Amino acid sequence: MLRLGRREFGTHEPVIMAIVNRTPDSFYDQGATFRDEPALARVEQAVAEGAAIIDIGGVKAGPGEEVTAEEEARRTVGFVAEVRRRFPEVLISVDTWRHEVGEAVCEAGADLLNDAWGGVDPRLAEVAARYGVGLVCTHAGGAQPRTRPHRVTYDDVMADILKVTLGLAERAAALGVPRESILIDPGHDFGKNTRHSLEATRRLDEMVATGWPVLVSLSNKDFVGETLEKPVKERVLGTLATTAVSAWLGAQVYRVHEVAETRQVLDMVASIAGHRPPAAARRGLA
């Protein structure tokens, strides 16, 4: 059972986390939701299309201009408060590795801290425990925030993913983060080359078997682009194919740009797996 905020999700209930970047230089939307009104419109659309979680980020993942903790907070805290006011039922996640930002967004109403950089700031888990919010524990291969992998190697990439994410999850639980609100994430592209990310996807069932809910952040990433030799804006089909495989292997939460398309993929996989009835079943009955 996954519990975030006031929501509970069954074991086989797929959950969509919609990305809203409060950055002027995000790799995919190039700042389309940097200003408040477009960002709020994006939230409204994502919720209407089936997103249960809105993931708000104030710093792009890749290298670029320095963003201080103060600036990251300026981009996210007030927006979190406004989303909470306008959409009281939606779950709010904030993509940050800094405990100072985590503290501020929890005060503003966040339900989940999405630590994409693998516990580089150990105090972030302490913040999650203090506020009783959820935490995403991600494998980043020991990479520092906003760096790209360079000649990274693993004897066994999934063994390393399990060692790191389970260690982070158990530490968070020991600190007091509710166990049912902790997720693990293989960290596609983070501290990994394309072959590593493909193997992590292929072996995702090993993460699912641990019993922790698994979050995947696949949307339009470089491993999809390199696999298909496609630029950023032409990676949707590859992303959705990877989403379908991840769903079949048991991932539960999907951090995405394309909400409506992801919803259809997840519903179709759930129906094939027998976890969801068809929306209509008329064929052959009349």
Is residue 101 within 8 A of residue 73, CB to CB? The reply is: yes
> 273 near 248, Cβ under 8 Å?
yes
Q: Per-residue pLDDT for 104 more than 70? A: yes
pLDDT of residue 246: 99
* Distance of alpha carbon 238 from alpha carbon 227, whole angstroms: 9
pLDDT at 275 over 90: yes
**70-103: pLDDT as tens digits:** 999 999 999 999 999 999 999 999 999 999 999 9
- Quote the CA–CA distance of 264 and 286 in Å, as a whole number: 26
By the 10 Å C-beta count (0-12 exposed, 13-18 middle, 19+ buried), 204 is classed as buried
Q: Is the pLDDT of residue 25 over 80?
A: no
Mean pLDDT of the chain: 96
Report the pLDDT value the prediction gives residue 50, as an integer from 0 to 100: 97
**Would you please indicate which residues are annotated as catalytic (active-site) residues?**
221, 255
**Segment 168-193 mean pLDDT:** 98
Q: What is the pLDDT of residue 29?
A: 67
Per DSSP (E only), the strands in 164-227 are 182-185, 215-217
At residue 32 the predicted structure's pLDDT band, cuts being 50, 70 and 90, is: confident
Q: Which two three-digit tokens encode residue 208? A: 């699912």
pLDDT, residue 31, reads 67
Q: In the chain, which ranges are E strands?
A: 2-4, 7-9, 15-21, 53-57, 91-95, 112-115, 134-138, 182-185, 215-217, 253-256
Radius of gyration in angstroms for the set of CA atoms belonging to the chain, rounded to a whole number: 18
Please state, for a pLDDT cut of 70, what percent of the chain lies above it. Answer: 98
What is the per-residue pLDDT for 27?
A: 66
- Which pLDDT value is given to residue 33? 77
* pLDDT at residue number 28: 66
Tell me the domains of the chain and their CATH numbers. Answer: 11-273 (3.20.20.20)
The Cα 218–Cα 178 span in angstroms is: 26
